[in-house]
Amino acid sequence: MVPADDLSDIVDERCELQAARRRKLAEGMEPYDAAVYRPALRALQERCAARGHGTITRSFNFFHTVEWRHCTACRGLVTTRELGSEEAKSHESG
């Protein structure tokens, strides 16, 4: 077995290959995402908001300096205004 230190060039090359593949996949999907996926998702999230959203989950960045809320049904970001004052207070404590 070769020590891991001696294989760092192999690991780096594999990571570069995988990153190039992800970029190529994203480039290929961009026309579909722009024309179909994002507009459909936006419409679905608007319909969910009109119905009051589902369960709201709070998420934080690594350092807990940024917080955001999203609906577990549509995965859309939810503003405090959409939550309403009473519901916002209950989510603040949760």
Domain ranges of the chain: 8-93
Q: At 42, which helix (H) or strand (E)?
A: helix 38-50
pLDDT, one tens digit per residue, over 10-50 is: 999 999 999 999 999 999 999 999 999 999 999 999 999 99
| Residue 2 reports pLDDT greater than 60 | yes
First to last CA, the chain: 51
Mean pLDDT of 77-90: 60
Q: What is the pTM of this model?
A: 0.64
pLDDT at 82 over 70: no
Q: Is the pLDDT of residue 52 over 70?
A: yes
